[in-house]
């Protein structure tokens, strides 16, 4: 019999991309990965509900799958991830083309759920409530080819309850993975050719090894010791928990890259308090400062929300001031989106989104200028690039990143993938830099 194929479409954050890898690993005995949905016998959507738009995307994509199902009646369509965790049965009621729904803590059950659907013909919704382990923790390593970079989840869930955020509702309470298991997975990946590992969690600073009680800095140094690993990153570090210890570890551990994603969300203390972020702007800036003192070349990126309930023009301008002060390499900025079940969704907002319509593009313009100035400053510099493969538009160039997380394109042999190259930066572009290999 011809081996059947599965296609998993991933939305949202790196946590979901990690879970998708695990889904492929759980089903690898039975299904080969399909390169396009059209050739798959099973299509799963690993969904994100962080903003309303993300959620809508899922429903519109499901609509477009109806013809696929008409052409191939045996096709199994499944919805998992954060929308599934929140909506559950509603998805089955609302979307007749969906066969199975599974929650964020159920990915180990996927092979069984698919089998049950095929055997019984019943539509299935399986959502575990909060569990005391990291989903996918027991999954085997994927048999498929690995790229030079990989993700490893170290902690699931979130206990911070920022007032706008749905993550605690869809990912559950914080649970750390045993360090022994993280190290085994990371070493396994490195022995299969992975050169760079990113440790994942909604707040990696909350990590506590359940076996020894040791924290994130200890874990970071143990992963740093893995022979053959070249680079180590982590995401996300919550600014309220970012510590001197971590800054020192970043400075002292040779593989930890000189880049940190430190989401600030807003530049006004009033808004930060309403968001329940647990820091003020000046506390945030002190942390940036202590980091830059220890690692002068460090680059920062951030996330920002524009139009939080009650945010006024003066608050917004403080965010613009903060951007000019910190000079982030990159900022991911979003219009505030009210999420069901969160506290912010109940807050009064006399100003309303209409009056703030121009704020997001205004903020992006300020940040784009800073990014572009920083890119121009890179011209003429020699950097170390870990080659990840061909660039995404396939212009015949290679693509990689510097340790400080600049994206670099340059001509070269595909055999350089997975290797580090010394590159001279020749030109700066909007999103990336261009250069040529010098050794
Ligand atoms: N754990 C990370 C963020 C995870 S969500 C942290 O605490 O920083 C990724 C980003 O989505 C957030 O940083 C925030 O900027 C954005 N976000 C979350 N909820 C949102 C909402 N309701 N509306 C708009 N943006 C939101
Ligand atoms: Fe959401 Fe806040 Fe947790 Fe980040 S720290 S996932 S923004 S609740
Ligand atoms: Fe989205 Fe869930 Fe991640 S809501 S951002 S996929 S944790």
Average pLDDT value for the chain: 96
Q: Which residues neighbour 172 within 8 Å (Cβ) at sequence distance 6 or greater?
A: 104, 105, 129, 130, 131, 156, 157
Residue 29 and residue 42 share a domain: yes
Nearest to 6 by CA among 36, 38, 31: 31
pLDDT band with cut points at 50, 70 and 90 for residue 61: very high
pTM of the model: 0.96
Cβ-count burial of 379 within 10 angstroms (0-12 exposed, 13-18 middle, 19+ buried)?
middle
Could you write out the three-class secondary structure of 214-259?
CEHHHHHHHHHCCCCCCEEEEECCCHHHCCHHHHHHHHHCCCECCE
- Give 29 Cα–ligand 3 centroid separation in angstroms: 28
Residue 221 and residue 73 share a domain: no
Cβ-count burial of 145 within 10 angstroms (0-12 exposed, 13-18 middle, 19+ buried)?
exposed
- Give 346 Cα–ligand 2 centroid separation in angstroms: 18
Q: What percent of the chain has pLDDT over 70?
A: 100
pLDDT in tens, 395-435: 789 999 999 999 999 999 989 999 999 999 999 999 999 99
Residues facing residue 389 across a β-bridge: 399
Nearest to 340 by CA among 130, 165, 172, 202: 165
pLDDT band with cut points at 50, 70 and 90 for residue 1: low
Please give the tally of structural domains in the chain: 3
Lowest-confidence pick of 23-27, 37-41, 98-102, 140-144: 140-144
CA distance linking residue 399 with residue 149, whole number of Å: 13
Residue 125 — φ and ψ, nearest 5°?
A: -125, 115
Residue 299 and residue 167 share a domain: yes
CA distance linking residue 288 with residue 298, whole number of Å: 10
CATH number of domain containing 408: 2.40.50.140
List the Cα angle 316/321/322 in 5-degree steps: 95
Do residues 109 and 87 make contact, with C-beta atoms less than 8 angstroms apart?
A: no
For residue 266, what are the CA distances in angstroms to 250, 286, 305, 321, 333?
A: 25, 16, 6, 10, 10
CATH number of domain containing 257: 3.80.30.20
The pLDDT of residue 144 is 74
Ligand 3 mutation pick, 8, 9, 12, 47, max ligand atoms within 8 A of CB: 12
Residue 202 and residue 61 share a domain: no
339 CB within 6 A, ligand 3 = no
For residues 287, 293, 298 and 302, what is the CA-based torsion angle, rounded to 10 degrees? 20
Instruction: Give nearest CA residue, ligand 3 atom 1.
Output: 48
59 CB within 6 A, ligand 1 = no
pLDDT band with cut points at 50, 70 and 90 for residue 271: very high
Residue 194: CB atoms within 10 A of its CB come to: 24
The pLDDT of residue 176 is 97
In this structure, what DSSP letter does residue 3 have? P
- Give 159 Cα–ligand 1 centroid separation in angstroms: 14
Residue 332 and residue 319 share a domain: yes
Across 247-270, average pLDDT = 98
Q: Domain residues for 421? A: 379-437
Residue 225 and residue 84 share a domain: no
User: b vs e for 342-365, b when ≥16 Cβ sit within 10 Å of the residue's Cβ?
Assistant: bbbeeeeeeeeeeebeebbeebee
CA distance linking residue 298 with residue 249, whole number of Å: 13
Name the percent of the chain in helix, strand, coil, to the closest 5: 40, 25, 40
Q: Which residues neighbour 85 within 8 Å (Cβ) at sequence distance 6 or greater?
A: 49, 103, 104, 105, 127, 169, 170, 171
Residue 351 and residue 422 share a domain: no
Alpha helix stretches (DSSP H) within 269-399 = 269-275, 281-294, 313-326, 352-355, 359-378
pLDDT at 136 over 60: yes
Handedness of CA 36, 37, 43, 46 (dihedral sign): positive
The pLDDT of residue 76 is 98
Across 25-38, average pLDDT = 94
Across 209-227, average pLDDT = 98
The tokens describing 117, both together, are 């659907």
Residue 233 and residue 187 share a domain: yes
Ligand 2 mutation pick, 15, 161, 165, 172, max ligand atoms within 8 A of CB: 165
The tokens describing 320, both together, are 């613009």
- Give 419 Cα–ligand 1 centroid separation in angstroms: 33
CA distance linking residue 110 with residue 108, whole number of Å: 6
Instruction: Give nearest CA residue, ligand 2 atom 5.
Output: 160
Q: Which residues neighbour 345 within 8 Å (Cβ) at sequence distance 6 or greater?
A: 338, 339
CATH number of domain containing 43: 3.40.50.12160
Ligand 1 mutation pick, 305, 328, 331, 347, max ligand atoms within 8 A of CB: 305
Residue 290 and residue 205 share a domain: yes
CA distance linking residue 236 with residue 89, whole number of Å: 31
pLDDT in tens, 82-92: 999 999 999 99
The pLDDT of residue 393 is 74
Residue 370 and residue 389 share a domain: no
Do residues 322 and 281 make contact, with C-beta atoms less than 8 angstroms apart?
A: yes
Residue 108 and residue 177 share a domain: no
Residue 419 and residue 354 share a domain: no
From the CA of 57, which ligand is nearest? 3
CA distance linking residue 335 with residue 172, whole number of Å: 24
């Amino acid at each position: 019999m011809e081996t059947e194929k599965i296609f998993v479409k991933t939305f949202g954050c790196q946590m979901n991309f990690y879970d998708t890898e695990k889904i492929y690993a759980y089903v690898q005995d039975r299904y080969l990965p399909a390169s396009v949905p059209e050739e798959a016998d099973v299509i799963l959507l690993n969904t994100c509900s962080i903003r309303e738009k993300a959620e809508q995307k899922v429903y519109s994509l499901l609509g477009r799958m109806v013809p696929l199902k008409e052409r191939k009646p045996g096709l199994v369509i499944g919805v998992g991830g954060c929308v599934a965790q929140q909506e559950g049965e509603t998805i089955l009621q609302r979307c007749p083309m969906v066969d199975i729904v599974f929650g964020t803590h159920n990915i180990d059950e996927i092979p069984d759920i698919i089998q049950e659907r095929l055997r019984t013909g019943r539509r299935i919704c399986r959502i575990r409530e909060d569990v005391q382990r990291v989903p996918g923790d027991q999954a085997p390593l994927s048999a498929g080819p690995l790229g030079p970079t990989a993700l490893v989840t170290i902690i699931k869930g979130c206990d911070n309850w920022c007032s706008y955020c749905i993550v605690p509702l869809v990912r559950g309470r914080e649970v750390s993975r045993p360090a022994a298991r993280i190290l085994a997975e990371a070493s396994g990946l490195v022995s299969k050719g992975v050169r760079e590992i990113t440790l994942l969690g909604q707040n990696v600073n909350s990590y506590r090894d359940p076996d020894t009680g040791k924290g994130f800095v200890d874990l970071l140094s143990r992963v740093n010791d893995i022979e053959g690993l070249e680079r180590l990153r982590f995401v996300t570090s919550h600014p309220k928990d970012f510590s001197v210890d971590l800054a020192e570890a970043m400075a002292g551990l040779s593989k930890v890259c000189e880049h940190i994603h430190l989401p600030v969300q807003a530049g006004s203390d009033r808004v930060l308090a309403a968001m329940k972020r647990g820091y003020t702007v000046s506390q945030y800036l002190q942390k940036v400062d202590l980091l830059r003192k220890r690692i002068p070349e460090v680059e920062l990126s951030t996330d920002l929300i524009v139009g939080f309930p009650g945010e006024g023009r003066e608050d917004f301008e403080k965010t613009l001031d903060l951007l000019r002060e910190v000079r982030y390499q990159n900022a991911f900025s979003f219009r505030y989106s009210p999420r069901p079940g969160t506290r912010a969704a109940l807050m009064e907002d006399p100003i309303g989104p209409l009056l703030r319509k121009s704020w997001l593009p205004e903020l992006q313009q300020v940040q784009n200028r800073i990014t572009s100035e920083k890119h121009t400053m890179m011209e003429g510099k020699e950097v170390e690039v870990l080659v990840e493969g061909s660039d995404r538009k396939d212009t015949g160039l290679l693509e990689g990143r510097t340790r400080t997380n600049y994206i670099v394109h340059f001509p070269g042999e595909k055999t350089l993938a997975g290797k580090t190259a010394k590159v001279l930066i020749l030109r700066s572009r909007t999103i990336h830099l261009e250069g040529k290999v010098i050794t």
